[in-house]
Structure 1
């Protein structure tokens, strides 16, 4: 969970990402995909492209919507809680409605830069039970599509299943990592943080620093089923950059070289009218302040 270091060279090498600080790009990564056709935003993608993903100063992310989002709603950008410009929230900390003017580089299908998006606030951010940040932008989905020709990624409102073919799409590195959902960790512990029901990858998704916050996309549907956040780098147990799994009986397991994502279906029950985070909604299970 490395904090960002000063200097452009450091950012270029490490992606300045917490949780996944490996500098080398693994062979499992693939480059920008071919330009999708005119109907690609509407059709399932066998190999997800980069349209709608973003690059942060230190991480990756994506413009996302839930089923109830409307075209004229302010758009939302999804990333990790540990990617917040204010630093990594401590255990038990939940951030809501915090002003922000952070910028994001919007990418097209071929990982081409389309322009800059700007936040007005951190709508939600935490590293408690999950590792998630959600920024509200100063522009709507309709305005982004009209100006840049891309639509947001849809968040699947259902819990994903093991065996699903998935792809981590990193806007920071303009790389993809394809594998399957291997299973789910009851608890995932890293240093002082604990996450719940984390998505475990099979080994081909050997993610690296800077991929933090990338959308985890279901290859069959093109929908976001998770947000990429960490990997056990050296086989250590429950330490920084070496998360461990803890089952219902307290048994600890370490999977060296294996990466994880956090659930995103939870967002569908926590966003109300006007695309606003509403933690008081009856079905909302996101951690509250």
Structure 2
């Protein structure tokens, strides 16, 4: 996971401020007998980013130790309380352990809202953590006390839209950090069947090409498809020193149990699965048909 800038949470080493990644739900995969070490060179050629949507800082936020973004679903309405997307390892209470899922927990966390130029235009406040986990994915959704309409009318900032389809290999992407006010551009190099870091494992993680050399503090940044302008993933970790499956040094484990270490390569967790778990009024409902997010 990118370590939290505050140096608080060890796991925040994930692309957030820390770099320690979370582990996927279920038992940790057994250490395979064979392992390979990959270079930082992308294994698949990156497709040229489509020159469509201009990417800026509008809708991103800075947390005390991570990055994030105000997001909406296709079914979200203007008077729904807005949601902020970040990493589970960025929670103010510390990183959730393997198998832990947080739902509807009160929170008063504050977020600095940025405009397109990266200027702070408001402080937003959470009313609760709607959902958070580090099992199978590394995801946190905060419900704000403000609605989308209020944020747009008062601050002229529109929420980013979460895509409902899986990103494609080779797609051009931008990782937008509200904490550092920096945009990293690269492409989706591929997907890790399992990404293991310490006690956490994540499923079907996005692997970046080497150009997205994200650092601590970028954890929770939205990963935006540059062709559509929609959020397809949330930035969360990277292999800092070539270690094998340890904190700040995640490893990939394929379907056969073979481990691959890619020093200097960074990762994100897909977010297309979120839409199926959000119902009327932006309420997280894990019992909705098609919802595959981990449950308590």
TM-score, normalised by the number of residues in structure 2: 0.85
1:35 alignment partner in structure 2: none
1:57 alignment partner in structure 2: 64
1:275–1:16 distance in 2 versus 1, CA, 3 Å = closer
Secondary structure of the corresponding residue to residue 265 of structure 1: coil
Secondary structure of the corresponding residue to residue 179 of structure 2: coil
Q: Indicate if the aligned counterparts of 1:20 and 1:209 stay in contact, CA closer than 8 A.
A: no
1:166–1:4 distance in 2 versus 1, CA, 3 Å = closer
**1:141 corresponds to 2:154:** no
1:16–1:284 distance in 2 versus 1, CA, 3 Å = closer
**1:237 corresponds to 2:240:** no
Equivalent position to 1:102, from 105, 109, 113: 109
Q: Indicate if the aligned counterparts of 1:186 and 1:198 stay in contact, CA closer than 8 A.
A: yes
What is the alpha-carbon distance in structure 1 between the residues aligned to residue 250 and residue 84 of structure 2? 26
Q: Deviations over 1:181-226 (max 9, x none)?
A: 0000000000000000000000000000000000000001100000
Equivalent position to 1:88, from 69, 87, 95: 95
- Which structure 2 residue ranges, 5 or more long, are not aligned? 9-13, 22-50
1:169 alignment partner in structure 2: 176
Aligned pairs (5 A) from 1:166-205: 166-205=173-212
1:287 alignment partner in structure 2: 294
Q: Indicate if the aligned counterparts of 2:5 and 2:217 stay in contact, CA closer than 8 A.
A: no
2:232 alignment partner in structure 1: 225
What is the alpha-carbon distance in structure 2 between the residues aligned to residue 286 and residue 163 of structure 1? 25
Q: Indicate if the aligned counterparts of 1:15 and 1:172 stay in contact, CA closer than 8 A.
A: no
Q: Which has the higher contact order (CA 8 A, sep 6+)?
A: 2
Secondary structure of the corresponding residue to residue 130 of structure 1: coil
- Which structure 1 residue ranges, 5 or more long, are not aligned? 8-13, 22-42
Q: In the TM superposition, what is the alpha-carbon distance from 1:262 to its structure 2 partner?
A: 0.2
Q: In the TM superposition, what is the alpha-carbon distance from 1:110 to its structure 2 partner?
A: 0.5
**Number of equivalences:** 261
Equivalent position to 1:262, from 251, 258, 269: 269
2:73 alignment partner in structure 1: 66
Q: In the TM superposition, what is the alpha-carbon distance from 1:271 to its structure 2 partner?
A: 0.2
What is the alpha-carbon distance in structure 2 between the residues aligned to residue 15 and residue 199 of structure 1? 13
